Every structure is written in structure tokens, then in C-alpha cells.
Chains A and B, each alone.
Chain A
Amino acid sequence: MKPIAAVAGALVLLLAWGGAKIPWEKAMARDQRKATYGFSGPTTVAIREKVGQGLALAALGGFRGLAANALMLQAHGAWEEQQWVRVRSALELATMLQPRVAVFWDTASWHLAWNAAVAAEKYSGESSETKRKIEARRWVEAGRDLLERGTKAVPEKALLFQRLGDLYWQRLGDYQEAARCYREALSKGDAPPYLERFVGYALEKAGDKQGALEYFKDLRREMGDAPSQVRRPEVVEREITRLEKETAEKRVRKIK
């Protein structure tokens, strides 16, 4: 075969395959993107702009997981030095590189809504208590924002909904919202068994004792006659008795 014919033959072959593979690649990429990010994952350009050059090279060269891990290590180092802005930026980037890793969102929100917020409130050295509280609230909101985004990125797992519920309960005192998040977590199928009782506890904390009582009653009914011991039916029954007693006492007080 003449060299020119060989080159032409190889080129034609590669171009013909190139034309055929593009629709296939597009379909596969679309399916994977849909499965991985929903509909709007971070684009390569966005990653390149936001991540440093070294990490971008790793992330775009097929070592995205390693780049994200390096950022988590960076965040850990910054946390030890109480450099909260650096912690936040490293965590934001790590979750951007690997939005489907639930444990990254979990760790990131814990650092912001708990560690950074407590540090801002108690150890910042700011003399004004109001300013300290505002700053702490800002960190809690940042943690909540991360978790809200995390639940959209990993909607099929219970973990982040549970953590969001914990955040509403422990950091924001919004118990109705906590109950909603716990319910959402329970609908995912991989929630820990104790979480089903937390919906009732959250409703009670929100002041809705009647709602909590009805919830526990429904839960006990749903458990059936021979419930699994892991679901602790005796605790649910104890809660029903306690709430019935308390609501009855409340009614008596009202009548008096």
C-alpha cells in the first residue's frame, strides 16, 4: 500500500467512526449527567475557573476524586487552624467537584453550621454579643445552604435530609421544618430506624402535641401486631401514653 493511500485510508476510517460515535457519546453523556447531577452539573469551564491550576489539571485529567480529597484535606488543615473562610472555600470546591458524595456535604455542613458558628459565637474575641450572634447565624445559614444543595445533588439518600433536619432542630430551632426533613428522609428507604420517632419528637417540640400524638399513634398502627424490635415499639407506646396524659391534663386546665 502506498503511504498516501494508507494515511487517507486511516483518516477516512477515523472520521467515519468519529461521525458515528458522536450521537452515541452524546446519548451516553446525557444519561450519565442526568444520573450524576440531575440536570445542571458543574461544567468543566466552571471547575477550571474556580479550582487552582494544579487541582484543575487533576480534576479535568480524570483524577477528580483525588482533587476533591485534596480539598477535603485542605479544609481539615484549615479547620485545625480555625481559618473558617478557607474551610468554607475548600469545602465548597470539594462538593462542587464531587456533588454526588453525600459524606462531603455532611462534613462540609457540620464544619460550617457547628464548628464555625460556635467559634464565631464563643471564641471570636468580638466584644458585641449581637455581632457575635449575627456572625454565628451567618455560618449556620451557610451550612443550611450547603445541605439544601446537597439534598438536591443526592436526593435518593436519607443522610442529608436527616442532617438538614438535625440542623433545623439544633441550630435554627425550627422544629416544624425539622419534622418535614425527617419525613423526607424516611421516604428514602435507607433512613435509620430511630429516625421515625424523631418526626414525633420534632412535632412536639414545635408545640404541636396533638399532631405528635397522632403521628405516634399512626406509627404504632403501621408497625402492626408483631413489630420488629429494632423499631422499638415500646418507646412509641410510652410516648403515646405520655402525650395522651399531657394533652388530657391540658384540656382539664383549659376547662378550669
Chain B
Amino acid sequence: MIGCLRRISAVAGNTFLEAVRQKVFAVLLVFALVLIGGANYFTEFSFQEQFKFLKDLGYAAISLTGLLVGLLGAAQLIPGEIERRTILTALCRPLRRWEFVVGKYFGLTTYLALMVVIMALAVWGVLGWKEGQFLRAEGLDSETAATIRAEAMDPRLLQAVLLVGAKLAVVAALAVFFSTIATSTTFVMAMTLLVYLIGHLQSVAREQWLETGEVTRWTVRIFLAGVALLVPDFNLYNLIDEIVAGNVVVWRTTLEVLGYSGVYIGVLLAAAACMFEGRDI
């Protein structure tokens, strides 16, 4: 067991270092930080709206950058190793194929987590900066100042960061799954992106298949069932909008979504390992 963990952590560490060395990821991180900082210039609105804009843009920047890093990183994980033939030297060691897949995934998600933390800190920094700007304004009553402080340093934003991270981790697991089937990075990226987009409509497919009874053609029903069964429901992560809007989202709901993400990642990695076991390298 300890040997297994050591092998997984060795692959994960190597994948993490490879990701850190990729210049494109650093550029994406800088792009996201500029976007987050730039959100500070919506100054024509009320302070509540300005904070909402900041948070929305901040979380969108985290999501978008994380999505790109997840896609680009995972797309190269296995097809890249096969193309460079480095996978042969890795797998001729006492390393099981599933350990290789899991190690690769954890290396990538560790890097993703690091990026999410850096960007979340940048969002909090910008919110704090904005808070300072508002609080320095003249003629501010204590009630408004308290509202501004509450808007800027809302502890619920931690829930939003966790949800963004979980969503990205599921996307990365999807990309790892596709990378065990694919021979080209383009295929992995295209498939993951498609599933990501369809995942936001999965709830509609599920409702049409199970609840509305509007669809009667069996071919359409099979298609809808396929989408509902095989694609994750990414709308569950829309709780982030609620948090940004300043509404109460109980921790139980957040933890439920995190649990769902955890189980989904486990299943996707198991399926990816299964596919990779049967793959001819």
C-alpha cells in the first residue's frame, strides 16, 4: 500500500513539475490575474453592483483559466507521453497502469489547485482594494461602511472557491479519461470541451427523458438517456452565482456537491484506468 502511494506520488510530483515548467500555463495565469485586476474599473455602478461584477469576473477568470489549464494539461498527459515514447520507460518500471493514470491526475489537479488558490487570493486582494477605495470616500455612514465590509470580505466566498475547484477537478478527470482513449491532444480537448458544454444542459436532457414525457421517439429518448447517464450535471455548480449574489448557501449543500464531485472523479479515474489497461501502447 505504501509502495503504491509512493509510486503514485512520484508520478504526481513529476506531472506537477512538468506543468510548472510549461510557459503557456504561466501566461494563462498572468492573463487571469490581469482580468481580475481589470475588473476593478467598473466604476459607474452602485457599490453592491461593483462588488458583484468583481466577484463574477474573478470567478469567471478562475473558471476559464482553470478550464484551459485542465484541458491543455490533461490532453498532453497520456497522448504526449505516448508520442514522446516516455511512457515505455515509465511503465517498464514496477508501476501499474492505474497508478500511472491516478498519479498523472493528481499531479495535474495539484497544479490546478495551486492556480485556483493564487487566483482566489488575487480576487480577495482586489475586493480588499475596492473595499479600501469605498471606505476612504467621504460622508460614509457606519451602516454603509458595514455593508461594504460585509460585501468585500464575505466568508462564503470560500464556498465559491471550493465549488470552482471541484468543477475543474471533474473536468480534469474527464480529460484524463479521454486521454486514455485518444491518440491526439486535439481529440481530448474537443471531447472534454463538448462534454463540459453538454454538462450544462444535462439537467434539461434528464428532465426531458424522465419527467416531461414530451419526447416519444425512442431514438431521441436513447440519446437523452445517454446524455443523462454519462455526462455530469454541471448546473449543480451554479451555486456559485448564489454566493456571488450574497445569498445564503448552506454548507450542507456545498458539501453535497463536493461529495458528488469526489465520487464522480473516482468513477472517471476507475473507468480511465480500465480503458488504459486494455490499451495497446
Given contacts A44-B201, A62-B238, A65-B241, contact A1 B278 (CB under 8 A): yes
**A100 interfacial contact with B, CB 8 Å:** yes
Contact at A62–B275, with CB atoms within 8 Å?
no
Question: Does A26 lie within 8 Å of B204, measured CB to CB?
Answer: no
Residues of B within 8 A of A65 (CB): 52, 55-56, 59-60, 240-241, 244
Q: Which of B22-30, B103-111, B117-125, B263-271 contacts A (4 or more CB under 8 A)?
A: B263-271
Flag if A72 contacts B267 (CB, 8 Å): no
Give Cα distance in the complex from A31 to B249, angstroms: 11
A:29-87 near B, CB below 8 Å: 29, 31-32, 35-36, 43-45, 60-66, 68-69, 72-73, 76
What is the bound-complex CA distance between A103 and B59, given in angstroms? 19
How many angstroms between the C-alpha atoms of A62 and B167 in the bound complex? 10
B57 lies within 8 A of A66 (CB): yes
**Do B60 and A1 have beta carbons less than 8 Å apart?**
no
Give the shortest distance, in Å, between A77 (CB) and chain B (any CB).
Answer: 10
Asked if A32 and B238 sit within 8 Å, CB to CB, the answer is yes
Name the interface size band of chain B: 35 or more
Q: Is B203 on the interface with A (CB-CB < 8 A)? A: yes
Partner of B278, one of A6, A36, A63: A6
Tell me whether A10 and B275 are in contact in the complex, defined as CB-CB below 8 angstroms, given that A28-B256, A100-B242 are known contacts.
Answer: yes
Q: Number of contact residues on A: which range applies?
A: 35 or more
Complex CA–CA separation, A28 to B263 (angstroms): 15
A49–B46 Cα gap in the complex (Å)? Answer: 30
Contact in complex: A62, B63 (CB < 8 Å): yes
Question: How far, in Å, is B226 (CB) from chain A's closest CB?
Answer: 9
Closest to B247 in A: A100
- Alpha-carbon distance between A192 and B260 when the two chains are bound, in angstroms: 40
B229 in contact with A32 (CB, 8 Å): no
User: Taking the complex as formed, is A17 at the interface, i.e. its CB lies under 8 A from any CB of chain B?
Assistant: yes
**A217-248, CB under 8 A of B: which get 1 and which 0?**
00000000000000000000000000000000
**Interface digits, B211-233 against A, CB 8 Å rule (1 contact, 0 not)?**
00000000000000000111001
Of A1, A7, A24, A29, which is within 8 A of B235 by CB? A29
A9 CB within 8 Å of chain B: yes
Among A32, A60, A73, the most chain B Cβ lie within 10 Å of the Cβ of A32
A60 touches B200 (CB 8 A): yes
Main SS of the interface on chain A? helix
A66 touches B56 (CB 8 A): yes
Complex contacts, A1 vs chain B, CB 8 Å: 274, 277-278
Residues of chain A within 8 A of B240, CB atoms compared: 65
B224 to chain A, nearest CB (A): 12
Flag whether A255 is at the interface (Cβ < 8 A).
no
Select A76's contact among B44, B233, B263, beta carbons within 8 Å: B44
Q: Which of A18, A62, A98 makes the CB contact (< 8 A) with B245?
A: A98
Q: Is A19 a contact partner of B229 (Cβ separation < 8 A)?
A: yes
Q: How far is the CA of A69 from the CA of B54 in the complex (A)?
A: 10
- A252 near B: Cβ within 8 Å? no
Check: A134 CB closer than 8 A to any chain B CB. no
| Complex CA distance for A107 and B52, rounded to whole angstroms | 13
The answer to whether A35 and B253 touch across the interface, beta carbons within 8 angstroms, is yes
A24 touches B260 (CB 8 A): yes
Asked if B236 CB lies within 8 Å of chain A CBs, one says yes
B55: chain A residues at CB < 8 Å are 65
Alpha-carbon separation in the docked complex, A3 to B276 (Å): 9
Assess whether B230 is in contact with A62, with CB atoms less than 8 Å apart.
no
Nearest chain A CB to B120's CB is how many angstroms away? Answer: 16
With a cutoff of 8 Å between Cβ atoms, the chain A residues found around residue B247 in the complex are: 100, 154
A101: interface (CB < 8 Å): yes
Assembly CA distance A187 to B186 (angstroms): 57
Give residues 123-168 of A contacting B (CB, 8 Å): 154
B278 touches A2 (CB 8 A): yes
> What 5 pairs across the A-B complex have the smallest Cβ distances?
A6-B278, A18-B229, A65-B56, A10-B271, A3-B278
Q: A residues bordering B, Cβ < 8 Å?
A: 1-7, 9-10, 13-15, 17-19, 21-22, 24-26, 28-29, 31-32, 35-36, 43-45, 60-66, 68-69, 72-73, 76, 98, 100-103, 107, 154, 192
10 contacts between A and B (CB under 8 A): A18-B230, A22-B206, A24-B260, A25-B260, A26-B210, A43-B204, A64-B241, A69-B52, A69-B53, A76-B45
